[in-house]
Structure 1
C-alpha cells in the first residue's frame, strides 16, 4: 500500500474524535472542524472519516438506527445507545477476551473480535 500523505485536516479530525466520549456524527465533526478550517467542506470531512475508519485509526459505528457515529477509541469496548435521545456512549467493560473465548467454545470457526451494543435510557434522560 502506498504511503498516506499527511493532512492537517485529517489529523485534526482524528484528534477531535480522540477527545470525545459521545461518538459524534459526521455533521457534528464538520461543524467543529469549520471552527478551525472555515473553508473545509462536508465532503472532505466524510472522505477523511471514511479513510480513517478504513485504516483502523477510528471506529465507524453503523446501524444504531440513525446516522453513522465515529469513535476515536479503537480498543475493544462496548457501546450504549440511549433510545430516548439517541446518544451513543462508551461502556467500560472488562472480560471482552473471555467473552470471545466462551463464544468460540461451541463454534468451529475462529472468532477474532466482537461488537457488543446495549440499548436503554442514559443517565441524562433518566434525570429529566
Structure 2
C-alpha cells in the first residue's frame, strides 16, 4: 500500500514537470512511511546520515512544494513546530495533550459537513479539518502506574 503511494506520488510529480531528486524522493518516502506526523527537523535528522549534504532548508522547501501540490498537510498547533502529514485520503486527528502524539482517524460520515456548512452559511467551502484533544492510552497507563506506586501521603496538621 505505502509503496504504491510513493509510486503514485512520484508519477504525479513527474506529470507536473517536477524533478525527482534523491532527497525529494527520500523526504516523500519518509512522510508516507511515518505515522508520527513529523516536524521538518525530525525529517532532516532522520535523513541526515543518508544525505549529509542536505540542509534543513531543503527539507522545508520540499515540504512547501508537497503542501502546495496537496500531498502533505501542514498541521500547526499552538506555538510548537509545524507537523507534516502525508494526505492520501481525508482524515482527522486525535492529539494527546500530554505527550503530543497524533493519531489519524478515518470517519467518512463527516464528508458532507462541508455541504451542510455551505448551505447554512452561504460560504463556498474549500476544505475543513477537525481535531480531538485528550490523553492517549500510553499517558493514561503512565498515570495509573504512577498512582499505584506512590499513593498520596496524608498530611497531619
Q: In which range does the TM-score fall when normalised by the shorter chain? A: 0.7 to 0.9
Task: Show the counterpart of 1:127.
Answer: 141
- Runs of 4+ deviating beyond 3 Å: none
Name the TM-score, length of structure 1 as normaliser.
0.88
Task: Show the counterpart of 1:27.
Answer: 41
Alignment size in residue pairs: 127
Cα pair distance change 1:92/1:64, threshold 3 Å: farther
What's the secondary structure of 1:80's corresponding residue? strand
- Cα root mean square deviation, aligned: 1.7
Structure 2: tracts of 5 or more residues without a match: 1-15, 143-157
Structure 1: tracts of 5 or more residues without a match: none
Name the TM-score, length of structure 2 as normaliser.
0.73
Q: CA deviation at 1:64?
A: 4.4
Question: Which protein shows a greater Rg?
Answer: 2
Cα pair distance change 1:38/1:12, threshold 3 Å: same
Structure with larger RCO (C-alpha < 8 A, sep 6+): 1
- 1:76 counterpart = 2:90: yes
| The one of 46, 55, 62 aligned to 2:76 | 62
2:96 and 2:61 map into 1 onto residues whose CA distance is 27
| The one of 98, 106, 125 aligned to 2:112 | 98
Task: Show the counterpart of 1:49.
Answer: 63
